[in-house]
Amino acid sequence: MPEVITAEGALRQDDWVVVPRPEEGEALTLPDDKPALVPADLWLENEATFANRDDIGVWFDSHDEPEILEGKVNEVPLIAVNFPRFVDGRGYSIARLLRERFGFEGDLRAIGDVLLDQLQFMKRCGFSTFVLRADKDASEAARYLDFFSQTYQAAGDTDLPLFRRRAS
């Protein structure tokens, strides 16, 4: 069961299972009694059965295009974005597009190579929950989520860049 960090730094357990992309020719297998995150394109293929279910969400890999879910993001309760390596920064752009452009209102989760030192950037881009890489200690996460008390830019967390707040 993954330990989930909230945007406020609280820890909780939840049951969401990331369903890996099935091998070519294999069918998508969902867990029996747990909520599941499926690859976003496969969710679309099964939209008729998956849409608006509270136990089926989607996940994007860093090279995926979030545009495929435009107009439908709020038909899923949870979207996860995978960071295959923490230095792969594409997930930050995906998160901002999902939140700011496509208006996703549900839980946006960072998964994969998620480390403490990047938590605040992720939060700023609109992520609302985080699952750290398995070997990392989540107990200190709260401190890293809000290390900086000030920011220059508008992003997923702030409507106004500092230059507008200053000038007002």
73-102 residues in contact with other proteins (CB under 8 A) are 86-90, 92-94, 96, 100-101
Kindly state the helix (H) or strand (E) to which residue 4 belongs, with its residue range: strand 3-6
* Among 14, 42, 75, 120, contact with other proteins (rule: CB under 8 A): 120
Residue 69: phi and psi, rounded to 5, are -105, 10
Residue 162 is classified by DSSP as H
Whichever of 12 and 133 has its CB closer to other proteins, that residue is: 133
- What residues from 124 to 153 belong to the interface with other proteins (CB under 8 A)? 124-125, 147-153
Shortest distance (Å) from residue 129 CB to other proteins: 17
Q: 120 burial class (0-12, 13-18, 19+ CB within 10 angstroms)?
A: middle
Closest residue by Cα to residue 79 from 93, 55, 60, 52 = 60
Which residues are near other proteins by CB under 8 A? Answer: 86-90, 92-94, 96, 100-101, 115, 117-118, 120-122, 124-125, 147-156, 159-164, 166-167
